[in-house]
Chain A
Amino acid sequence: MAGSDLRISEHPILGQTKEGREVTFTYDGRPLTGYEGEPIAAALRAAGVMVHRYTAKKHTPRGIFCAIGRCTDCVMIVDGEPNVRTCMTPLREGMKVQTQYGVSSRPEVTP
Chain B
Amino acid sequence: MKRVDLIVIGAGPSGLSAAIEAAKTGMSVLVFDENARPGGQLFKQIHKFFGSKEHKAKIRGFVIGQQLLKEAEDAGVQVSLESTVIGIYPEREVVVRKYVETPAADGTDPQEPSSRHEAVFHYKADAILVATGASENMVMFDGWTLPGVMGAGAAQTLMNLHGVRPGKRVLMLGSGNVGLVVSFQLLQAGCQVAALVDAAPKIGGYGVHAAKVARCGVPFYLSHTIKKVEGTNHVTGVTIAEVDSHFQFIPGTEKHFDVDTVCVAVGLSPMSQLLKMAGCEMDNSGKGGGQIPVVDAAGQTSVPGIFAAGDVAGIEEASSAMIEGRMAGIRIAEYLGYETKEAGEAEFSKEEASLEGLRQGMFAPQNRGMKIEKTEEGIPISTNLLKHGFVADDEIGRFPGVTHKAGIHPVMECTQNIPCNPCQDACAKHCIHIGLNITALPAVEEGSTCIGCGMCVASCSGQAIFLVNEHTKEGCAEVTLPYEFLPLPKAGDEGFGMSRSGKPVCRAKVVKVRTSKAFDHTALLTIEVPEDMAMKARFYRSRLECTGGDSVIAQSRIKGAEVSQNGATGDRPCESKAAAESEKREEGAAI
Q: Which residues of A contact B (CB under 8 A)?
A: 5-8, 10-14, 17-19, 38-39, 42, 45-46, 50-52, 60-70, 73, 79, 87-90, 92-95
Partner of A65, one of B34, B60, B149: B149
B164 in complex: contacting residue of A42, A79, A92, CB < 8 Å: A42
> Do B145 and A62 touch (CB < 8 A)?
yes
Report the minimum CB–CB distance from A49 to chain B (whole Å): 9
A12-B486 CB under 8 A given contacts A60-B145, A68-B157, A94-B111:
yes
A69-B159 Cα distance, complex, nearest whole Å: 16
Q: In whole angstroms, what is the CA distance A95 to B135 when docked?
A: 30
- Looking at A8, A39, A45, A63, the one whose CB has the most chain B CB atoms below 10 A away is A8
List, in ascending order, chain B residues with CB within 8 A of A10's CB: 486
Decide: B484 and A12 in contact? CB cutoff 8 A: yes
| B34 partner residues in chain A, CB cutoff 8 A | 69
In the complex, chain A residues whose CB is within 8 Å of the CB of B190? 8
Instruction: Flag if A7 contacts B154 (CB, 8 Å).
Output: no
B155 contact set on A, CB distance < 8 A: 67
Asked if residues A45 and B166 are in contact (CB atoms below 8 Å), the reply is yes
Chain B 518-548: CB-based contact to A (< 8 A → 1; otherwise 0): 0001000000000000000000000000000
- In the complex, the answer to whether A66 meets B147 with C-beta atoms within 8 Å is no
Chain B residues packing against A (C-beta within 8 Å):
34-36, 46, 60, 62, 111, 113, 115-116, 135-136, 145-151, 153-155, 157-160, 162-168, 188-190, 233-234, 484-486, 488, 521
Main secondary structure of the interface of A (DSSP, over half): loop
* B233 pairs with A92, CB closer than 8 A: no
Report chain A residues within 8 Å CB of B158. 42, 45, 64, 67
Residues of B within 8 A of A50 (CB): 147-148, 233-234
A87 contacts which chain B residues (CB < 8 A)? 154, 157
Chain A hits for B149, CB < 8 A = 65
Complex alpha-carbon distance, A84 and B167, angstroms: 23
CA A79 to CA B155, docked complex, whole Å: 27
Nearest 10 A/B pairs, CB to CB: A63-B147, A67-B154, A17-B163, A42-B162, A50-B147, A50-B234, A67-B157, A6-B165, A13-B46, A12-B486
Q: How far is the CA of A13 from the CA of B313 in the complex (A)?
A: 31
The interface residues of chain A lying within 8 Å CB-to-CB of B111 are 94
Q: Give the residues in chain B near A90, CB-CB below 8 Å.
A: 36
Whether B150 lies near A11 (C-beta < 8 A) is no
9 interchain pairs, CB-CB under 8 A: A6-B164, A8-B189, A12-B521, A18-B163, A46-B164, A50-B147, A69-B34, A70-B135, A94-B111
CA distance A50 to B234 in the complex (A): 7
Chain A residue at minimal CB-CB distance from B34: A69
In the assembled complex, how far is the CB of residue B260 from the closest CB belonging to chain A, in whole angstroms? 8
Give the chain A neighbours of B148 by CB distance below 8 A: 50, 63
**In the bound complex, what is the Cα–Cα distance between A66 and B151 (angstroms)?**
6
Instruction: Please state if A11 and B485 are interface contacts (CB–CB under 8 Å).
Output: no
CA distance A14 to B62 in the complex (A): 10
**What is the CB-to-nearest-CB distance from A95 to chain B, in angstroms, rounded to a whole number?**
8
Which of B136, B159, B233 meets A61, CB within 8 Å? B233
Chain B residues lying within 8 Å of A18, measured Cβ to Cβ, are: 163
Docked-complex contact A63 and B136, CB < 8 angstroms: no
- Residue in A42, A60, A88 whose CB lies within 8 Å of B36: A88
B486 touches A92 (CB 8 A): no
Expressed in whole angstroms, the minimum distance between the Cβ of B102 and any Cβ of chain A is 13
Let me know if B484 and A61 touch, CB within 8 A.
Answer: no
Residues A14 and B46 in contact in the complex (CB < 8 Å), given A8-B159, A8-B165, A46-B164: yes
Which of B113, B153, B234 is in CB contact (< 8 Å) with A92?
A: B113
Chain A: which residue is nearest B485 at the CB level? A12
Q: How far is the CB of B63 from chain A (nearest CB, A)?
A: 10
B26 to chain A, nearest CB (A): 34
Known: A50-B234, A88-B36. A8 touches B150 (CB 8 A): no
A89 to B111, CA, bound (A): 19
A11-B151 in contact (CB<8A): no
- Evaluate contact between A66 and B113: CB separation under 8 angstroms: no
B484 touches A51 (CB 8 A): no
Q: How far is the CA of A29 from the CA of B149 in the complex (A)?
A: 26
Contact across chains for B157 and A8 when beta carbons are under 8 A apart: no
Whether B147 and A62, one on each chain, are in contact in the complex, defined by CB atoms closer than 8 angstroms, is: yes
CA distance A51 to B166 in the complex (A): 13
Q: Contacts of B166 on A, CB cut-off 8 Å?
A: 45, 64
Task: Point out which of A17, A61, A65 has the most chain B C-beta atoms below 10 A from its C-beta.
Answer: A65
CB-based contact B147/A13 at 8 Å:
no
Query: B189 and A11: CB pair below 8 A?
Result: yes
Q: Which residues of B contact A6 (CB under 8 A)?
A: 164-165, 167-168
A38 to chain B: which residues have CB within 8 Å?
162
B300, chain A: closest CB distance, angstroms:
28
Q: Are A7 and B145 in contact (CB under 8 A)?
A: no
A12 and B162 contacting across the interface, CB-CB below 8 Å: no
Measured between alpha carbons, how far is A79 from B135 in the docked complex, in Å?
Answer: 30
A65–B154 CB distance below 8 A: yes
Q: Which residue of A lies closest to B148 (CB)?
A: A50
In whole angstroms, what is the CA distance A5 to B118 when docked?
35
B579 to chain A, nearest CB (A): 28
Given contacts A13-B484, A50-B233, A51-B234, contact A66 B162 (CB under 8 A): no
B133 to chain A, nearest CB (A): 10
Q: Choose one: B146, B150, B485; the contact of A67 (CB below 8 Å).
A: B150
**CB <8 Å contact, A8 and B113:** no
CB nearest to A54 among chain B residues: B233
Contact B163–A11 (Cβ < 8 Å): yes
Q: Per a CB cutoff under 8 Å, which of B154, B233, B234 touches A68? A: B154
Collect the chain A residues with CB atoms within 8 Å of residue B234's CB: 50-51, 61, 63
| Closest B residue, CB atoms, query A37 | B36
Contact A64 B521 (CB under 8 A): no
Q: Which of A13, A17, A52, A94 has the most CB of B within 10 A?
A: A13
Contact of B60 among A13, A63, A68 (CB under 8 A): A13
Contact between chains at B163 and A8 (CB < 8 Å): yes
